Amino acid sequence: MESMRTKTPFFQAFGPLLFGRPARRTLQKLGKLDSLSELYELFGHLLPEGLLGRSDRGVNSRERLFSTQVTFWAFAAQILSPGTACREIVRRVEAWWQESAGQGQGPSSSTSAYCQARARLEPAVLELIRAEISWSLERNVLNLERWVGGRPVKIVDGTGISMPDTPENQALWPQPSSQAPGCGFPTMKLVGLFSLGSGALLEAQTGNQHTHESILFRALWSKLQKGDIVLADRGFCSYAGIAALQQQRGVDSVMRLHQMRKADFRSGRRLGAEDRLVVWQKPAQRTEAWSEQEFAALPQTLSLRMIGLRVAASGFRTKSVVLITTLVDAAAYPADLLRELYGKRWQVEMHFAQIKTFLGMDVLRCKSPELIQREVLMHQIAYNLVRSLMQRSAHLHHVTLARLSFKGTLDTLRHWSGLIAAAGKTPRQQQKLIDLMLALIAGDLVPERPGRSEPRGKKRRPKNYQLLTKPRAEVGNLPRRNRPKANHPKSPLS
């Protein structure tokens, strides 16, 4: 392959992959991802072969400049570089084409071709890619990274995602009822299942704001395996949920006691200080979330441990927490060990902050539900790709995975990927650069700050604009706040 005279500004090795030389030769090369994309060099081994190839029939059976594999890697690059607009990608594609090919018709200057290509990505294929990457991360978890007895711990929690205010999005994900019609944004609820050992987002389920997180979590139960331990907040703590997980899936639970249940440490059998073995009775009435058959199959009683947890760190809102767990063997699972385990539940908040803040999933950008679905999946894939790089670096250099910086890894990937791709013709030099990049990632450790308190407050004040309490079309042009009135003696309007 001829040497490139220039490189594309975003993920340089996308040049040959995305744009090529003459059109016919480009289409012939699109199926050869090896040594063409730096993302493929780093992550290609995680993707099952054939998922991104041409299909025998359907919309992805034609030869296109934006083929499935090209679109996937370009979409991934866009997610890994938050703020990159589709128009920017198309403009850079067009500029590289003219510079490298020098003749012939390049890709269209419109973003339509790229946006249509993203719409052709099949959600089922993206689901398979997400699942393969996430569970490969879980398989690579070392025994010392697992909990007591080598048992895997899965953390579950939910979050909200905003998106553009279009009628289609509003119909599927309505805005919060507290917001005036026409003044809010559609809100999606996402429940994620994370691995404590690898930090990977193993599975996720989405719904609207009217669907409770525990119901979305039930759709993920089939992904849990016997022997797993579910770590969750009090929103997931219910008799039916805990009993069904233990009885049907063989999964134990460590959860915070729901606020509607009172904790009485005088009841049950004493196992230690603020450690009691209690028995819960099956509720007399079932909720709408459970069918009559499912509710009838639940046991009449449930033996659980109730453990008190005192939060001594200054600045924390909650001073005392009551835990409920199905791990009733006090000898195998001491209370202090369970208290320490629940303290790690906070990691899921950090994972959501990473994927929403550093990868831009907090506010989605697509305007149709079909593309919103693909955008959410691509964010999950991009997050797990970064986590795989962190895991690879941690295992290679024998550092604690939780100490590695996600943002530092993301920055290193963006700035080193082009250099690694440029060395594609010399495998030894390329591997040397990859090893150096992994060493830099391993050296960027987050300081250990136990008990650190960061209040949820903003120091920088927002701009002094008025808030929309009615749709913009009804309000019209708003007067500037603090603008002098016409009858004011110092007003230029008087």
- d(C-alpha 392, C-alpha 110), whole Å: 39
SS3 for 257?
A: coil
Mean pLDDT of the chain: 82
pLDDT in tens, 216-227: 999 999 999 999
Q: Which of 334, 338, 191, 194 lies closest to 254 in space, CA to CA?
A: 338
- d(C-alpha 373, C-alpha 66), whole Å: 20
Q: Which pLDDT value is given to residue 355?
A: 96
117 has a pLDDT exceeding 70: yes
- d(C-alpha 382, C-alpha 258), whole Å: 34
Residue keyed to tokens 């947890």:
309
Of 188-197, 258-267, 475-484, minimum mean pLDDT range: 475-484
- Of the two residues 55 and 147, the one the predictor is more confident about is 147
In the chain, what percentage of residues exceed pLDDT 70?
78
Of 21-25, 287-291, 315-319, 486-490, minimum mean pLDDT range: 21-25
Of 17-26, 167-176, 194-203, 319-328, minimum mean pLDDT range: 17-26
102 has a pLDDT exceeding 70: no
How many residues would you count in the chain? 494
**Structure tokens, 221:** 């139960």
Number of C-beta neighbours around residue 339 at 10 A: 19
- Of the two residues 249 and 65, the one the predictor is more confident about is 249
Q: Which pLDDT value is given to residue 477?
A: 66
Q: Which pLDDT value is given to residue 3?
A: 41
19 has a pLDDT exceeding 60: no
- d(C-alpha 146, C-alpha 123), whole Å: 32
pLDDT band with cut points at 50, 70 and 90 for residue 63: low
What are φ and ψ of residue 467, in 5° steps? -90, 140
**Structure tokens, 232:** 């969750």
Q: Which pLDDT value is given to residue 483?
A: 52
pLDDT in tens, 355-373: 999 999 999 999 999 999 9
Give this prediction's pTM.
0.85
**Structure tokens, 127:** 């689901």
Of 18-22, 104-108, 211-215, minimum mean pLDDT range: 18-22
- C-alpha distances (whole Å) from 399 to each of 17, 309, 404, 439 are 35, 30, 8, 11
SS3 for 252?
A: strand
Asked if residues 404 and 390 have their Cβ atoms less than 8 Å apart, the reply is yes
Asked if residues 40 and 73 have their Cβ atoms less than 8 Å apart, the reply is yes
Beta bridge partners of 279: 303
Q: Which of 138, 319, 318, 347 lies closest to 232 in space, CA to CA?
A: 347
pLDDT in tens, 191-208: 999 999 999 999 999 999
pLDDT in tens, 395-436: 999 999 999 999 999 999 988 887 877 776 788 888 899 899
Element (H, E) at 386: helix 369-397
Q: Which pLDDT value is given to residue 228?
A: 95
